[in-house]
Amino acid sequence: MADAIDRFYGVIPAGGVGSRLWPLSRAEAPKFLHDVVGNGSTLLRATWDRLAPLCAEDRLLVVTGEAHAKEVRAQLPELIEENIVLESEGRESTAAIGLAAAILQRRVPDAIIGSFAADHLIGATDRFAAAVREAVEAADAGVIVTIGIQPIEPSTAFGYIRAGKPLKIPAAPSARKVDAFVEKPKEATARRYLASGEYLWNAGMFFARVDRLMEALAESNPALAAGINEIADAWGTEQQAEVTARVWPGLEKIAIDYTVAEPAAARGELAVIPGYFQWDDVGDFAAVSRLRKSTNGNGVTVHGDESNVVVVDGSGLIVNHTDRVVAIAGIKDIVVVDTPDALLVTTAANAQKVKQLVAEIKESRRPEVL
């Protein structure tokens, strides 16, 4: 049998609208297709580039919506056609990752997969790679595995993982049992988590042997697993279109956290590898502001043509995707996103409210700008 890392396949579910990043992120061009933090690479492309050194390019799969296929192919010219799994509609992460796993299982029965959101930001690629290698080894030992990020601040924006006792897997020495997943905490709780040293950020990365993943899913959600297997059996055959059209829209919409990870944790069969690298889900413009440092030394970060922006006694993030002059006076930590058909004005502290704005625009006379 080949080494574990040589049977490792990366799955990139590229879905999710990122509505708190509107009007940068749109239904037609969601977050993962954008260079959200302005480092010269879209989030999707950066995800690919981070994984390519860990598995040959023919072992990277992308699951995305049919509406985004063209742009995904344009951003990832190395993506081979049989590794792109197109969804007629989003059915959440269990269906997306499960189908990729089931398709792979039929090609490479002892494959190990790892899933990596297409719209997260990760730094320190070498330490990321080290954690992935260990996660792959732990998965090969038969457990479901996640990577938990070592927190650097008492964030209230992320969920946490409480790490338990070491699992003593020889090839994965830092693997620990996951005692529990905990929801986004209040600040006092987050401080306690950070101080305890026992909590890691839940970055939503999961690793498993494909057979183990499908078994775990069949146990927790038999109907969903059966639907996925039915599509996977037809995949690449003449029946693919018919079966997919019939079965896919009926699959339960549920996150893999609930179908696989939490049940595995409850059984004591979920491992966590601590990751000592920068990670962020870039969930809102406060994150973008935090991640993209001031470009002019006085607290103003411009994403676009800086010579169109004038700020007096203010600071914050200005995304200008038009040729307009943007002039700001007297607002600290402002967020301005200026696009041809929509303008957002908020502050970093209010960045979560963008979701509410989006909900209101959906009900307004102008839903086409979403």
Shortest Cβ 304–its own copies spacing (Å)? 12
Shortest Cβ 343–its own copies spacing (Å)? 5
Shortest Cβ 330–its own copies spacing (Å)? 3
Of 1 and 329, CB closest to its own copies:
329
Of 81 and 360, CB closest to its own copies:
360
The closest of 307, 287, 312 to 295, measured between CA atoms, is: 307
Alpha carbon 201 to chain centroid, angstroms: 13
Shortest Cβ 369–its own copies spacing (Å)? 5
Using only the alpha carbons of the chain, give its radius of gyration. Answer: 21
CA triplet 108, 134, 208: central angle to 5 degrees? 40
What's the longest Cα–Cα distance across the chain?
Answer: 65
Residue tagged 């996640």 (tokens): 146
Of 282 and 334, CB closest to its own copies:
334
Shortest Cβ 149–its own copies spacing (Å)? 28
Shortest Cβ 344–its own copies spacing (Å)? 5
- The backbone torsions φ and ψ at residue 87, rounded to the nearest 5 degrees and listed phi first, read -105, 135
Shortest Cβ 313–its own copies spacing (Å)? 6
Contact 220, 252 (CB under 8 A): no
Separation CA 44–CA 77 (nearest Å):
12
Task: Output the six-digit token pair for 302.
Answer: 């411009």
Contacts for 207 with CB less than 8 Å, ≥ 6 apart = 112, 113, 114, 115, 132, 135, 136, 138, 139, 144, 145, 146, 147
Of 202 and 347, CB closest to its own copies:
347
Of 80 and 327, CB closest to its own copies:
327
Distances (CA, A) of 70 to 10, 76, 97, 144, 199: 20, 10, 21, 33, 40
Shortest Cβ 24–its own copies spacing (Å)? 12
- The DSSP element (H or E) to which 44 belongs, if any, is helix 43-51
Contact 112, 8 (CB under 8 A): yes
Of 183 and 363, CB closest to its own copies:
363
Shortest Cβ 119–its own copies spacing (Å)? 21
Of 87 and 338, CB closest to its own copies:
338
- The backbone torsions φ and ψ at residue 35, rounded to the nearest 5 degrees and listed phi first, read -85, 75
Residues that bind its own copies (CB under 8 A): 22-23, 307-308, 310, 312-313, 323-331, 334, 336, 338, 340-347, 349-350, 353-354, 356-357, 360-361, 364-366, 369
Of 67 and 331, CB closest to its own copies:
331
Task: Output the six-digit token pair for 177.
Answer: 């049992």
Separation CA 43–CA 33 (nearest Å):
6
Of 226 and 349, CB closest to its own copies:
349
Separation CA 142–CA 135 (nearest Å):
11
The closest of 300, 4, 314 to 133, measured between CA atoms, is: 4
